Amino acid sequence: MILDTDGSKPIYVQIAEWIETEILKGNLKQDEKVYSQYSLAEMFTINPATAAKGLNLLSDENILYNKRGLGKFVTGEARELIMDKRKNQTLKGLLLEAAIEAKQLNVSDAELIQMLQGIMTNLKGDAK
């Protein structure tokens, strides 16, 4: 992953989202130790305090838990929490943007739904 240092999203949020994606992909599993702030800092060439802030964000959301003296680990409900968060925040936000753009372009509800169904069908075909 390459961090977007010029974007509007803070680096610590990007680090947290990267760890979330690693959990969703199954690269980090329940009760598995995640990268330390120092290894993240080295991996992404960032300040360890920034990496720690990303880890703490995930701890605050109950995606990670701390074992004193050992580091941070993935919670049992991490995967479900991440999926719920991304559905309710990210996906809804993207759909809202698409709906606003569709309204500006006078695209009907039926057309928009048909477009989405076509995209979903294509994605299912790509997965085969």
Q: Quick one: how many helices (H) and strands (E) in the chain?
A: 6, 2
Domain identity same for 105 and 62: no
Res 5: pLDDT: 74
Q: What is the pLDDT of residues 37-93, one digit of tens each?
A: 999 999 999 999 999 999 999 999 999 999 999 999 999 999 999 999 999 888 899
Q: What is the pLDDT of residues 89-116, one digit of tens each?
A: 888 999 999 999 999 999 999 999 999 9
pTM: 0.78
For the chain, how many residues are written? Answer: 128
- State the average pLDDT over residues 24-29: 97
Domain identity same for 42 and 65: yes
- Which residues form the domain of 58? 11-76
CATH number assigned to the domain comprising residue 35: 1.10.10.10
Domain identity same for 69 and 108: no
In a domain, 60, yes or no: yes
Domain identity same for 21 and 72: yes
**Residue 42 near residue 36, CB atoms below 8 Å:** no
Report how many domains make up the chain: 2
- State the average pLDDT over residues 16-41: 97
**Residue 37 near residue 52, CB atoms below 8 Å:** yes
Res 3: pLDDT: 79
In a domain, 48, yes or no: yes
Q: HSE-up of 120 (CA within 13 Å, CB side)?
A: 6
In a domain, 2, yes or no: no
